A and B are shown apart, each in its own frame.
Chain A
Amino acid sequence: MTTVSQFEQTVPGGEIKGRSLWADAWARLRSNRAAVAGAIVLAIIGLASLFGPMLSPHDVGQVYRSYIKVPASTTAYPREAEIPDLLKTALRRSRADITSLDVDGDLVTLTLTAEREIDPRITRSVERNADFTNVQIIETSPDGLSLTMQMEVTRSYFLFGTDANGRDLLTRTLFGGRISLMIGLLATFVSLIIGVTYGATAGFIGGRVDSVMMRIVDVLYSIPFMFFVILLMVFFGRNIILMFVAVGAVEWLDMARIVRGQTLSIKRREFIEAAHACGVSTTAIIRRHIVPNTLGPVVVYMTLLVPKVILLESFLSFLGLGVQEPMTSWGVLISEGANNIVEAPWMLIFPATFLALTLFAFNFVGDGLRDALDPKDR
């Protein structure tokens, strides 16, 4: 019986402009607003984490004893009203009274009187407080019972406030981001290497080797890995290198499955058979045909894996099993914030926001990539 569809494809007509798969995917990705926004956010957070701690006036570990748990603020510390208290604390031992105090911008002029002669070395006890520099005596009364000093106030900005030890939270958040992102990327890389090698081998060799290798993956899947990572971290010390290995070792299973599936389906395609028939070596086939063709799903999975790893790291650090002082990470900061939630909520809010933004951004980019590379929607 003849059907109309028979002559549908008889003569190729019209000019169809060819676009490569990747160019097409790139165009689709660029038109995805959420993915582009995610990429921009990631770039900003990445750059800020990389260079922020270097540019910050505060060192990561620098402790400001006078500013423990001060709230986030865009005005500088100390505030004008706090200067007398700071000076009083600094001069507590000198038995001198402050008779006049004049604050003019960063310049403070101070007059002291005492019942005994004032030791000019008093400037040092003022200077010992990190907030005041260039302390000079500009006038001493003839009897030495009164003395006028001038000094400069160091103004510090704590845009995100400070933590329970009086350290700048902005610097620490950015520094923590550096660690979190680094662990995320490196552990993803570890799982990428293991997963792709394992999956491609299983898929390419096929047969009994494949079924044994995948059976192993199945067994590993049913192991409660979260608990194993916890055990690893508890028993074998809490260092960052181990963290990469542990997290990477946990997360390669999905990667292996994805790559194996892709390899299997590609292996059966005609162009691989053609390559075999032309005498191309196995390694060359894997390198030139299999790997590039599995790239799409792998890239998508990687972008979605990075936030998972960051999350796992933060989770371990939150439990106190991950990154240790003096290092810090978002998980550590969030954990500290959760412990100080009543008095210092900003200690939770800022690192949590950074973590959440990063996770969102990665997910948006990953989803965008998947949509862009998935031919199902086309």
Chain B
Amino acid sequence: MSLLAVENLEVRFDTADGEVCAVNDVSFSVEPGETLGIVGESGSGKSQVFFAVMGLLAANGRARGKVRFRDTDLLGMPVSQLNTIRGAHLSMIFQDPMTSLNPYLRVSKQMTEVLVQHQHKSEQDARRIAIELLERVQIPEAARRFDQYPHEFSGGMRQRVMIAMALLCQPDLLIADEPTTALDVTVQAQILDLLAQLRDTLNTAIILISHDFGVVAGLCERVAVMYAGRIVETAPVREIFYRPQHPYTRGLLQSLPRLDADDHQELPTIPGQPPNLQSLGEGCAFSERCPLVQPHCLTDRPLLRQIAEDHSKACHRDLAA
């Protein structure tokens, strides 16, 4: 049984200018211990999928479909029941470590309250476990810094604190939403190493959300590419890198800078902009920017179809490898 199975998920937002459909018909699953990467531009709906999973959608957002965590459906579950799962078996860390911690509370309190809440630990036990975890995520002098406030930590340290906090109850699945985007490049690498290490030692499944193929490639076993609220291609990471089958995936990969490229060669880009989610047409959302667009792409929306073992894409065209 999959650890997390998302089926036909749809997320809509009521806005002053009408309804916006941020996520459309998204299905995927994660097995225990697996590492899945979700790649897409900002606005592709990749974060909203997991806000829906965690019950963290903004007040004007609604989710439909099925989100099964083990054998319980998380959607439509009362908040009090959801609270026994999130933070305990299912954790999430966010893009901006600078603002994700509560600036008014000591790090110690923010960590121990999770253990007190979910595992009914005493304050002392909770402190001990929390300090151990901080050491594990390589916070120097963890015991001394434990009672400091978040603003006394650097950005990278705060993300480590966030990661430690998410792992307190040894969750089965950790969702990392752009965990390195706001950090310096050297710190990024450290955090990614840390995540890889934790996955290997704790056997926690990880979903890594990123706009950066490079980040995903280093950590994940499987990748799903999202565009305009839909998954357009999903495959094992090597397969995607060497045989991308969707024109969008191809565009993304081609725009990665390469060390072996000619110095004077201009970096290829994908022309155009992501579509307006309010006025998506009948056809393929990528058709406006697609170099291989054909007439029926504008009228027929391509569905996600399997093209090889463990490789699916949502495109009418068959690309030569």
Contact = CB atoms under 8 A, between A and B. Distances in A.
User: Is A in direct contact with B (CB under 8 Å) within the complex?
Assistant: yes
Interface of A: 1-14
A3 B270 CA distance: 12
B32 to A, nearest CB: 29
Contacts of B185: 1
B271 A4 contact: no
Given A6-B255, A7-B255, A14 B212 contact: no
A2 B256 contact: yes
Nearest to A9: B273
Contacts, number: 52
A10 B269 contact: yes
Given A1-B185, A13-B288, A14-B276, A6 B214 contact: no
Contact of B270 (A1, A7, A12, A14): A7
Interface string B254-276: 01110000000001011111101
B211 A4 contact: yes
A8 B274 contact: yes
A3 B211 contact: yes
Given A7-B269, A10-B269, A13-B272, A2 B214 contact: yes
Contacts of A11: 271-273
Contacts of B215: 1
Secondary structure call for the B interface: loop
B75 to A, nearest CB: 28
B214 A5 contact: no
B41 interface: yes
Contacts of A13: 272-273, 288
Nearest to B188: A1
A5 B273 contact: no
A250 B178 CA distance: 52
Contact of B41 (A1, A2, A4): A4
A3 B182 CA distance: 13
Given A3-B212, A10-B272, A14-B276, 8 more contacts: A2-B267, A4-B212, A5-B41, A6-B255, A6-B269, A7-B271, A11-B272, A13-B272
A13 B288 CA distance: 10
B273 A14 contact: yes
Interface string B147-170: 000000000000000000000000
Contact of A8 (B39, B41, B256, B267): B41
B14 to A, nearest CB: 15
Nearest to B274: A8
B246 to A, nearest CB: 14
B240 interface: no
Contacts of B271: 7, 10-11
B220 interface: no
A221 to B, nearest CB: 28
18 contacts: A1-B185, A1-B257, A2-B212, A2-B214, A2-B256, A4-B39, A4-B42, A4-B211, A4-B255, A6-B255, A6-B269, A8-B41, A8-B274, A9-B273, A10-B271, A12-B273, A13-B273, A13-B288
A329 B41 CA distance: 63
A5 B276 contact: no
Contacts of B267: 2
Interface residues of B, number: 24
A9 B40 CA distance: 15
Interface in B269-293: 269-274, 276, 288
A5 B213 CA distance: 12
Contacts of B211: 3-5
A1 B271 CA distance: 20
Contacts of A6: 255, 269
B273 A4 contact: no
Contacts of B212: 1-4
B114 interface: no
B216 to A, nearest CB: 11
A5 B39 CA distance: 12
Identify the 9 closest CB pairs spanning chains A and B, nearest first. A7-B269, A4-B211, A4-B41, A2-B256, A7-B270, A13-B273, A11-B271, A13-B272, A10-B269
Contacts of A10: 269-273
Contact of B42 (A1, A2, A8, A12): A8
Contact of A1 (B40, B214, B273): B214
B252 interface: yes
Given A10-B269, A11-B273, A5 B42 contact: yes
Contacts of B257: 1-2
Most buried by A among B252, B272, B276: B272
Contacts of A8: 41-42, 273-274
Nearest to A7: B269
Given A13-B288, A14-B276, A4 B40 contact: yes
Contacts of A5: 41-42, 211
B229 to A, nearest CB: 15
B186 to A, nearest CB: 12
Contacts of A12: 273
A14 B288 CA distance: 10
Nearest to B42: A5
A31 B174 CA distance: 45
A4 B42 CA distance: 8
Most buried by B among A3, A6, A8: A3
Nearest to A12: B273
A14 to B, nearest CB: 7
Nearest to A31: B16
Contacts of A7: 251, 255, 269-271
A12 to B, nearest CB: 8
Nearest to B39: A4
Nearest to A10: B269
Contacts of B256: 2
A247 B288 CA distance: 62
Interface string B64-108: 000000000000000000000000000000000000000000000
Nearest to B271: A11
